Every structure is written in structure tokens, then in C-alpha cells.
DNA sequence: AGGATATGAGTGGTCAGACCACTTTCAAAA
DNA sequence: TTTTGAAAGTGGTCTGACCACTCATATCCT
């Protein structure tokens, strides 16, 4: 029963230690040699546990310095999972739809959760619409951040990188128009219209892409 | 540059090997000593990579037998992450919201994409509602599958494991009612009502959870 | 001959000790 | 005072040695 899988116990012990001593992200934990002795295990066994934690993004090791708790708010979960979640589901369609799904949800959240003085945010956003280098991705990223769900943001970011953005250097007139309409609706907290405009924009974009070279 | 993090290279190499030799879940991979020699690394270093893969649920080791590719993925991953990461309430909230986001999107897709003869699906679903062991998770899983977006399904599956399901053995009367209403609306392809009922259900659930012991 | 038993090879699990590469510190040298 | 460099401490890696376990095989007893 107690046999095998000792490194899992170590993972638990480390977690307990972190909790008991109220260590925070960025704090340094004892050296491998110290931990190994304290827990009465060999250093290599301890390292097996540490590597697991590192792969998950829970700790961070710096050679010559030590081992530190990393900010687990940045769900490393997503990166790790992406390496083998996305490998089978290469369906571009799925990626695109999932990405869209997060974007629309963000818009809805923003429209409904409006607190107070985010007004200046919309102004600065609007002013940037005119820039040539302000693409759809930039626009949506702002929305994703504003929605406040960092996990969703992380997933979106990944999907975005994954599906690629074959945008031109300059943003087309149509896109600016769509952006403008969407933004206007969001400002008015008109969820229905905002989502509607955004979907229209996305559909238009999809058609544009298939018309041009649809890569793989 | 190439220094440090060798075990990450090994993780990649093993993945490549698996892919090249077309190994399937359940298949045995070479022994640690073999792999170590083939990859020109020490056995302990190799083991660090293996433990990471094991924690992710990608491989399974059996003492005295060998190391095998695992088929049921990410159990330990979720287990470990949940104890670590989810101490943060904000993370909890994010996971829940993101999960909900996928669920609602699935419902919308289903309502709008209805093809033809999925009628029998609803009947069988409805009949299962009465079972004591038919929980929200089972209900939603069906919907996720039906939505047809496998990537979204996969993400949802993970988040579900991640946030845990503190459900009772029996499903409450209220839940059955919510399920029933939601299902009815979906059958009628009434997107608005379906989403509305589902959200009501979710809100209710959230309150229930906070009322009872909200387990850290 | 047939079934129980012993043995050995192979495997993962663990450990101790030894280097290496790197960072930080701080005291000695300029 | 500034520079230098040696030492201590840390993570990264490798080796070789056991242990505990599984399985196939050979061996023994009836």
C-alpha cells in the first residue's frame, strides 16, 4: 500500500509545507538537499517530485539560486495541456469556433458586468481603431482582458497563437467598420447588438479567409 | 542555451518516439535503462522526465513489468493541480465561469444547428433524467458531445475534473426540474429559453454550493 | 507425466555520492 | 575605494548499487 509512488507523497508534503509556512508566489523553498534530508528521502526521488511540479508550472527553478514558487495564477495548465490536447484536434474549424466562443462570452460579460468608470477605456480603444496596425486580434485581446476571466484569456491566447492570424499589414475598411459598430454597442451595454455585430464580423472574416488561400 | 532543462527534451523525445513507432495506449515502451542508453542520458534524468509524463497521466508504470502508455488521461494532473492551484478563490471562479461558458455555447450550437433525426436522442435523454444517478455532469456531457466541437468538449472535460463535482448521491428535485425545463427548450429549439433556464440552474447550483461547505 | 516450487533475468523504485555549471557573497588584493 | 577571486551554496547530471516486484523457465517431488 505504502509502496511505490513515493514521489506523489512528496508532492503532497511540499504542498503542505507551502501551506503551513504560508509561502507566497516568488518565495524560495528550501534547497533540494535540505528537503531531501528533512523528508528522509533521496535527492533524486525528491527531484522527481520537483520536476513534476515544475512541468505543471507550480515551481520555478533557477540554477545556482534555488527553487521558487511561481505565480500559479498564470495557469500553466493550459500550455501543458495544449501540447497534447491540440495534437489530435487539429480541426481548424474546432479551434476557430472555440476561440469565437470565448470571445463572444467575453463580450457578454463585459456588457453585463459594467461597473463604473471604464468609460475612458472605450475612448482610448476607439482612438486606436484608426491606427493601421490595430487588428482584430488587438481589439479582441482588449476585450478578453476586460472580461476579467484570466483562464479564459489564457485559453483564448493559446487558440489564437494556434490558429494563426493571416492578417494583412493594413486593416481593411470593412473591419474597422465592424469594430466600430461592435464597440459602440458595447458602450451602450447593448449585449444583443454587440454580439450580433461581432458575429457578423466573424462570419465576414471567415468568408474572406476561404476566398483567399485557405491554409491547410 | 541548450543548458538546463534536459528533461524537457527527453519528454519531447519520448513523445516523438511514441508518434514515430505508432505506439498506442496500453503498449509498452522500452525500459528505463534502455531509453537512458539510447538517449545518452543518465537514468535518473530520464526518470525525471518519466515522472512528469506520469503525473500528466500520459504513461503508467508497473513495478517489475515496465512502463506503458496510458489510455485514461489526466487524472493525477487534475488531482494535483486542484490541490495546489485552486486555493485561490479567483481561480475557482475562473474555472467555473469558463466551464459554464463552454456549456452555454454548446447549448446554443445545438439549438441552432439541429439537423434532423436527433429526436430519439432527446427521448433517451429524457428517460434518463429520472435515474437517481443521472447528475448535472452527465446531462451536460451529452450536450457537449452533441455540440460536435471536440476541442471544446475536451477543454470542458478537463475543467470539469478540475473544479470537482461535490454532488450528492441522489439528484435533488430542483435539479431534475431544471434539467427538464432546459431539455424541453432545447427540443423546441428555443435558444433563448434554453440558455435562460440553464443559467438559472447554474446560479441556483452556485448558491447551493456556497451555502453548504465551500471546500477550500 | 503433472503440478508445485525454486531460480534467475528483467523491471521500476530508491538511495548515496560524486562531479559540473552557475549565482551570490564577501574578504583579500589592487 | 574599487576590483578580483575564492568559497559556499544551489540546481543539473551521471554512476553504480541495492531493493521489491513480476514473469518465464527450469527443477524438483509426488
**Which pLDDT score is estimated for A33?**
96
For B4-57, give the DSSP string: S-HHHHHHHHHHHHHHHTT--TTPEEPPHHHHHHHTT--HHHHHHHHHHHHHTT
Sign for the CA dihedral angle at A165, A151, A48, A86 comes to negative
The grid cell for B195 is: 440558455
Residues 6+ apart with CB under 8 A from A126: A180, A183
The span from the CA of A147 to the CA of A167, in Å, is 24
Q: Could you tell me which of B175, B167, B151 has the C-alpha nearest to residue B212?
A: B167
Quick one: average pLDDT of A66-81? 70
Edge-first strand order for the sheet with A66-69 is A28-29, A66-69, A59-62
**Which pLDDT score is estimated for A171?**
73
- A91–B151 CB contact, under 8 Å: yes
Q: Which residue has the cell 524537457?
A: B8
A59-62 vs A66-69, strand pairing mode: antiparallel
Residue A138 CA, chain-centre distance (Å), reads 15
Higher local confidence (pLDDT), B74 or A185: A185
Residues of chain B that touch chain A, judged by Cβ-Cβ distance less than 8 Å: 4, 7-8, 11, 15, 44, 47-49, 51-52, 54-56, 58, 63, 73-74, 76-77, 80-81, 83-85, 87-88, 90-91, 94-95, 97-98, 101-102, 104-105, 149-152, 154-155, 158, 162
User: Which nucleotide minimizes the distance between its C1' and the CA of A36?
Assistant: C15
- B49–A51 CB contact, under 8 Å: yes
CB-CB neighbours of B155 under 10 Å: 26
- Single pTM value for the model: 0.72
**Which pLDDT score is estimated for B75?**
55
Q: Which residue has the cell 477550500?
A: B216
**Which pLDDT score is estimated for B85?**
56
Residues 6+ apart with CB under 8 A from B56: A55, A80, A84, B73, B74, B76, B77
Q: Could you tell me which of B124, B179, B216, B158 has the C-alpha nearest to residue A77?
A: B158
Higher local confidence (pLDDT), A200 or A52: A200
The span from the CA of B119 to the CA of B109, in Å, is 16
Separation in Å: D18 C1' and A29 CA: 31
What is the three-state SS of A141-199? HHHHHHHCCHHHHHHHHHHHHHHCCCCCCCCCHHHHHHHHHHHHHHHCCCHHHHHHHHH
| pLDDT 10s digits, B129-141 | 888 778 899 999 9
Percent of chain B with pLDDT over 70: 81
Torsion of CA B117, B120, B126, B130, to 10 degrees: -160
Please name the helix (run of DSSP H) or strand (run of DSSP E) that holds residue B59, with its range, or none: strand B59-62
Q: Distance (Å) from the C-alpha of residue A136 to the closest C-alpha of chain B? A: 21
What does pLDDT average to over chain A? 83
Q: Distance (Å) from the C-alpha of residue B153 to the closest C-alpha of chain A? A: 10
Q: Low-confidence residues of chain B, pLDDT below 70?
A: 1-4, 71-89, 115-119, 164-170, 212-216
**Which pLDDT score is estimated for B52?**
87
The residue count of chain A comes to 216
**Which pLDDT score is estimated for A1?**
44
| pLDDT 10s digits, A77-109 | 556 556 555 555 557 788 889 999 999 999 999
Backbone dihedral angles phi then psi of residue B115, each to the nearest 5 degrees? -90, -85
| pLDDT 10s digits, A127-169 | 888 887 788 999 999 999 999 998 898 888 878 877 666 555 6
Mutate to test the interface with B, among A16, A45, A55, A158 (most CBs of B within 10 A): A55
Q: Distance (Å) from the C-alpha of residue B93 to the closest C-alpha of chain A? A: 8
- B56–A51 CB contact, under 8 Å: no
Amino acid at each position: 500500500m505504502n509502496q511505490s509512488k513515493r514521489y506523489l507523497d512528496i508532492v503532497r508534503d511540499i504542498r503542505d509545507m507551502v501551506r503551513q509556512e504560508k509561502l507566497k508566489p516568488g518565495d524560495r523553498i528550501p534547497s533540494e538537499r535540505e528537503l531531501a534530508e528533512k523528508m528522509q528521502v533521496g535527492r533524486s526521488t525528491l527531484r522527481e517530485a520537483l520536476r513534476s511540479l515544475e512541468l505543471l508550472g507550480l515551481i520555478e527553478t533557477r540554477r545556482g539560486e534555488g527553487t521558487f514558487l511561481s505565480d500559479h495564477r498564470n495557469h500553466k495548465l493550459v500550455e501543458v495541456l495544449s501540447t497534447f490536447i491540440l495534437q489530435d484536434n487539429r480541426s481548424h474549424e474546432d479551434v476557430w469556433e472555440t476561440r469565437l466562443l470565448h470571445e463572444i462570452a467575453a463580450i457578454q460579460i463585459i456588457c453585463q458586468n459594467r461597473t463604473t468608470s471604464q468609460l475612458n477605456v472605450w475612448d482610448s480603444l476607439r482612438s486606436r481603431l484608426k491606427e493601421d496596425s490595430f487588428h482584430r486580434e488587438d481589439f479582441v485581446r482588449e476585450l478578453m482582458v476586460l472580461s476579467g476571466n484570466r483562464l479564459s484569456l489564457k485559453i483564448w491566447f493559446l487558440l489564437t497563437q494556434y490558429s494563426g492570424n493571416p492578417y494583412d499589414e493594413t486593416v481593411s475598411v470593412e473591419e474597422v467598420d465592424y469594430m466600430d459598430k461592435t464597440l459602440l454597442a458595447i458602450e451602450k451595454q447593448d449585449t444583443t447588438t454587440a454580439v450580433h455585430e461581432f458575429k457578423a464580423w466573424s462570419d465576414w472574416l471567415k468568408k474572406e479567409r476561404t476566398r483567399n488561400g485557405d491554409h491547410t
